Each structure stands twice: as C-alpha cells, then as structure tokens.
A and B are shown apart, each in its own frame.
Chain A
Amino acid sequence: MYLIKEADKKIKVSLFITCLVDALFPQVGVSMVKVLKRLGVEVGFPEKQTCCGQPAFNTGFRQDAKLLAKRFLSIFDRDEFIVSPSGSCTSMVRVFYKELFHDDQKTSNMVELLSTRTYEFSEFLVNVLKVDDVGATYKGRVTYHDSCHALRELRIQDEPRKLIKSVKGIDFMEMKSPETCCGFGGTFSIKFPDVSVSILDEKIESIIESGADTILSTDMGCLMHIGGALNRMNIPVKTMHIAELLSNR
C-alpha cells in the first residue's frame, strides 16, 4: 500500500459530495473520507455546498443552472483538489460548465482553472495519487458498470477496474456491454419512465448473467436506478459505490 510520506507536502482535498450522496447515500461520503485519510490526504468539506446545477442544465433551465454554477465556483474557490464520488457531477463541472459559460469570458476563465483541479474519486486515486491498491479486502464476485458520464465525458475506464482488481479476495468479472447506459439519464427516467425502465431491464439481465453478487460503479445515480429495479424484483445483487468497496477492510 502506498502512503504519502510525512515529508511530502500533504495533499489537500475539498470534498464535492453531490446532493445525491449527501441526502441519500451518506455512507458513500464517509467511505470516501476513510480511503482518502488512510492515504494521508488532508480532507475538507466546504459546508455551504449544495448542488452543482446539473439537473437544471440537463432540463434546459440554463439561467438557473448558471446561478448554481456560479455559487459552486464561489464555494470551491480554495486552491485544492476537488474530489467527487460521481463521474456525472464531475463532468458537469469539468465539461459542461464550459458549455454553460461559453459566452462569458470572465466566468469561463474561472471554470477553466477550476476544471483542472476537479476529479472523480477513482481517477483521483489512480491518476493523481498514483495508487492502485488501497489495501482493501472484499469477499465476493463483483462486476462494474461504466457510468456514461465517467466513461464518455471523462474517459474513465481503466481506473476503477485497476482499483477493483487490486482489492484482496475479490472476484471480478465483466458483464456483457458494461458501457451501455442503464437508462437513468436524470429527469429522463421520469419523463419517459417506460423507455427508461426497458433500457434498465437489459442492464439488469447483463448483471444477472455475469453471476456477480455485487454491482459497482462510480456513480450513485446509476446505482440508485439499477438498485431500484434489483430491489423491486427481489434480485439478490448488492449495489455498491466504489468508495464503499475501497474502504472495506
């Protein structure tokens, strides 16, 4: 296991916890804190944070999204890494804020700076801290679902897999088409529930086929969607955020 040496300047991280994790899955945040602290990272949590504005942006309410984005910019203004347990929310900040402010030079510049220090949790571990093995153990057969935004906006694909494969005692297997969307899509899941669910059904099938007892991802959005169907259908497969896995000893 890799530990940041005392002599090294301590790496400082501001948690960007996302409203979903804050309200529905606080254990994911706690796990993240554990993993980061164990690696010798100094963790902070800007308490004024709420939502990055993605739901508004995705539904076309750009003005509202802008207000929340600006608020986000003012809260995360300290010169630290920003790390989030979500590929989707990280994409919002790193990719879509630029889109949102493309005609506003001043804010654009701020976004540019911010986006260079904003990371999704698994890529932060692997690409910034250069850690594959965080010393976790897990008994179980797991498979991994690529969240769309993590995969296609941030190109995170190998990072979580490296981390998962380094967990002691784990039995990892790919499912069929791990990169296919689970049908969540934020408000899409409510606007067109039947389409959303039929896409989800295919994902559930792949998960069952893989034989895994645990389904992992970088995003609680996807896992909430997948888990919602697993629960409803009484399928004994656990959903687990990658941070939860990595904090397990």
Chain B
Amino acid sequence: MENIKLSFEKDSAIALKNIKLQRALNKAIDQFRNVRWRAVREFQDWEQLRVSARRIKEWTIDHLDGYLEMLEANVINAGGNVHWASDANEACEIILDIAQKHKVKSVVKSKSMATEEIELNHSFEGAGIKVVETDLGEYIIQLANERPSHIIAPAIHKTKDDISKLFVEKLNTPYFNEPEDLTKIAREKLRNEFLNADMGVSGVNFSVAETGTIVIVENEGNARLTTTVPRIHVALMGIEKVIPRFEDLPIFLNILIRSATGQKMSTYVSLITGPKRNSDLDGPEEFHLVIMDNGRSKILSNEETRESLYCIRCGACLYICPVYKKVGGHSYGWVYQGPIGAIITPQLLGIDKASDLPFASSLCGACKDVCPVKINIPRVLLELRARVINDKRVGARFLLRIAVKLWRFTMENTSFYNLALRLSYILQKPWIRHGRLVSLPFPFSRWTKKRDFPAISKIPFRKQWKEIKDLEF
C-alpha cells in the first residue's frame, strides 16, 4: 500500500477509449437511475428517513468508543470472539492466524469492501490457503484477475460474451452465452467450494451495539452460505459500521437497499448474533468479529471531513455521478470509487497518494442530493482540495501557485484588472477565427482541443455600463 500512487488522469483516459465499457456503463447506469428513482419515490417519508439516518450516524460516530465497547461485550456474551485491528496488516494477520490455528485449507468469501481494502486474498494466497470469492460478480472478477468496478455490481464492466469466454478459459466449460447458463455453471462450481471450505469470511453492513448482532444484506444467498456452512465464520468491519439499536435497523435497511439496488427489500437479510448455539442443528461453531480502524479514526479526528464516515456504501453516488458514468470504477484506482472513492481514498491512503482524486469532479453536487445519509461530498472534496494545495509532498504545483498569485493580484486591483482585460483583448488576436478562439497555447489548449472559446470582448461590461446607466429602456 505504501507505494501506491494513483493517477486518475491516466486511468480515466484508458476508460474513455474503451467502447465496450462505455456501452456497459450507459446501460447499467440508465437502468439503475430509473429503478432507484422509483424505489425512493414510492417511499413516502424518504426525506424524513434520510434525516433520521443522518442523525443516528452523527450520534453514533460522536460516541463511537462507547458503542464499540458495547458491541464487543454483546458479541462475547453471545459466544463470539472480538479482535481489534489498527491497520490492514494487523487485520490480515488476525484473520490468517485464526485460519492457521484451525488448519484451514480453503476459505469462501462473500462480498466485502473491507476485505478488498486490506487485500486479504493476497494474505491467504501467500500462506497457501485457497480463497474463493462467492458473489457471482466477484467470482467473475477473481477469475479474470481484476478489480471490481462498482460497489454493488462489481462486474458491470463485463459483457456476457466476456464472461462466457472467461469461463471457457478458466473453468473448461463449453461456451454458453446466456446469463442463465453462466449462472448455473457458477452455482455448481461454487457449491463444491462451500461444502469443502473450513472458513467463511464476510463483511458487515451494520452491526448493532445493543445486541452484538451483525447484519448482512444480499440477493444471491452466498453470504448466507458463507456464514452458515463452514465451521468458522469471520466477519470484518470498519469501526464506523456500528449502529446503536436493533430498532434503528429498519431505517438503515430501507435507505441502504432502496439506494443500492432500488429494491424494497433485498432477497436476504441475515441478522447474526454469535456462533451456532449448542442446541442449534447448523451454523458455524466459531464466530469472530474483527473490528478494524485502518485510518478511520484519523478521518474521525477531523471535523471538516468526519462525515465521510457516515457512508453506508450504497453506491448511489456512483450511479448518479456524471464523471463516474464516463470513467467507470477502475479510474479511481482503488477499492472505493466514484464520489465516495474520491473522498475516502485520499483520506485512507494519504492525500499525497491520491492527490488527483479530489479534483476528479465537476462539483455538480448530484451525489450529495442522492446520498441517503446526506454526506455533503462536494464540501468534503473542496476541503480535500485545500489540503492537497497545502501539502508539501505534492510537487509540481509551483507554476500553478505563481499563476494563482498573479491572478489574485490582478483581481485585487481594479486598474490592474482593467489593464489585464485590455491586454488579453489585444493578445488574443492571433488566435481568433470567426470571432472565436479555436486553438490556444498550453494550458488553454486543453480547452480548445475540442471546444471553441469565446473571444474577449472589445468593450467589457464595465465600460458599456457608463453608456447605459442613465438610459431608460
């Protein structure tokens, strides 16, 4: 993780040229926006729900230490084990350690952003333990050796033809081109993995402090299998996932599910409290909850950006974002993508590692309007932009700095401003064609490559004002 340096500019250029990706994104996003819109509109008190969710999140994060301790106590009381991980390495070590103690050979995983964040699969593979992603989208991505491109729909960038070919190559199956057939193949392959696995690793959508319950929301049933069939269940959560009360759940289930997929309720919601009881007939014998910080307490310590922690990873901001719609998930360079990625990644990895991301937005604000917990993403982006500018490690800003200072100096003084207007008017002449600027030198060429720029007018408004101010119209 230390050596990462993300480049939105390079990665987005690749995405923009990928016609297949563009088509997939268009289709997925248009479809999603419609469905979500309906799911939200049919819920009468959506605004009220957002406000409640936001309040609970604010309250919880403001009392996070207390709730985490409460959660821990209740998980232990239910017969589970609780581990605390300061960073990604420690989280991997803890999970690996549990696996090795039980001589685990094979692990099944259900979808979890947190495990992606710590690159848990690498750790398992390094230790010679087989690990299989079981969410269909994630399974496809794992076979293709790629990274997911969307929080909720990891494989939206792949067509069924891509997937068919992938299955032929990696699973030695005949070429089937129907989603139906492909799904069936995956079901059979993965069934065996479930039955043979010694350990299941899941994420956590919410955990309830009051009861020690973890909640997992899904449609496929792979998370249920992961948390039911293997002997050991390990769940990994970031510290921000806790909510206080059992009765807060309907609020969060509603806003998460409706925002994430446009459903009223997902196919499965599992409320898991500890391992199987002695008298239970099935379920895992051991339950481990790993509570991970990995940079989150740092986010919390800054009041300007604290609200980033309220995110429930619904993915709605991705779909609504005009930039994401064009560049897809991979351009954001890391696990978290779209608007939420643009604010979370620089904060978790370090502002110097992802200094492009806070700028990768037109600040249109569609994300803040759609976000079910009302995170003001543009506000956070602006705050992070200021941090980038003030960060000594982010180089190559010397010229920009000078330019801004010069510009400000001009703007601070009306006569310089007038002079600048006059000068620009004269200097622009060589570039004018039909009254417009069509090819300017760098950096303005970045505008004029595809767009004309209006010419600076001979008589600016302030001069015209003098003529019209006393006229009647």
Binding site for B on A (CB under 8 A): 17, 19, 21-26, 29-30, 33-34, 37-38, 43, 45, 47-51, 53, 55-62, 64, 67-68, 71, 96, 99, 148-149, 152-153, 179-181, 183-200, 202, 224-225, 227-229, 231-232
Contact = CB atoms under 8 A, between A and B. Distances in A.
Contacts of B9: 192
Contacts of B407: 55-56
Contact of B365 (A43, A153, A198, A224): A153
B364 A45 contact: no
The listed residue with most A CB atoms (<10 A of its CB), out of B16, B386, B438, is B386
A71 B413 CA distance: 10
Contacts of B447: 189-190, 193, 228
A190 B444 contact: yes
Interface in B222-266: none
A75 to B, nearest CB: 9
A9 B472 CA distance: 18
Contacts of B462: 17, 22, 45, 47
B124 to A, nearest CB: 36
B44 to A, nearest CB: 21
Contact of A50 (B362, B365, B411, B473): B411
B117 to A, nearest CB: 25
A61 B382 contact: no
Q: Which 8 A-B pairs have the closest CB atoms?
A: A185-B362, A228-B451, A60-B385, A181-B364, A60-B389, A152-B365, A26-B461, A148-B364
18 contacts: A22-B460, A23-B421, A24-B454, A26-B457, A33-B468, A50-B412, A58-B382, A96-B382, A185-B362, A186-B363, A188-B361, A190-B443, A193-B446, A194-B12, A197-B450, A224-B454, A228-B453, A232-B451
A96 B411 CA distance: 19
B451 A68 contact: no
Given A26-B459, A29-B465, A229-B450, A68 B412 contact: yes
A232 B452 contact: yes
A181 to B, nearest CB: 4
B405 interface: yes
Interface of B: 8-9, 12-13, 16, 322-323, 325-327, 358-366, 368-369, 379, 382, 385-390, 400, 404-405, 407-408, 410-412, 414, 417, 421, 424, 436, 438, 443-444, 446-447, 449-457, 459-462, 464-465, 468-469, 471-473
A60 B407 CA distance: 14
Nearest to A189: B447
The listed residue with most B CB atoms (<10 A of its CB), out of A149, A152, A224, is A152
A180 B359 CA distance: 19
Contacts of A181: 322, 362, 364, 366
B365 to A, nearest CB: 4
A188 B357 CA distance: 11
A139 B304 CA distance: 50
B450 A30 contact: no
A62 B386 contact: yes
Contacts of B365: 148-149, 152-153
A196 B103 CA distance: 53
Given A21-B461, A50-B417, A60-B385, A198 B446 contact: no
A55 B407 CA distance: 10
B370 to A, nearest CB: 11
A227 B465 CA distance: 25
The listed residue with most A CB atoms (<10 A of its CB), out of B13, B16, B408, B451, is B451
Nearest to A35: B473
A33 B464 CA distance: 11
A64 B456 CA distance: 24
Contacts of A187: 359
A23 B457 contact: yes
Nearest to A43: B469
B412 A71 contact: yes
Given A22-B461, A186-B362, A228-B453, 15 more contacts: A23-B421, A29-B464, A33-B473, A43-B469, A45-B462, A60-B386, A61-B386, A71-B412, A148-B362, A148-B363, A148-B364, A180-B322, A183-B322, A185-B361, A189-B362
Contacts of A64: 404-405, 408
Nearest to B408: A64
Contacts of B436: 231
B361 A99 contact: no
Given A29-B461, A189-B447, A192-B9, A57 B382 contact: yes
Nearest to A34: B473
Given A58-B363, A152-B369, A51 B411 contact: yes
A207 B386 CA distance: 35
Nearest to A96: B382
B263 to A, nearest CB: 23
Contacts of B449: 193
A19 B420 CA distance: 12
B414 A48 contact: yes
Contact of B456 (A21, A23, A200, A228): A23
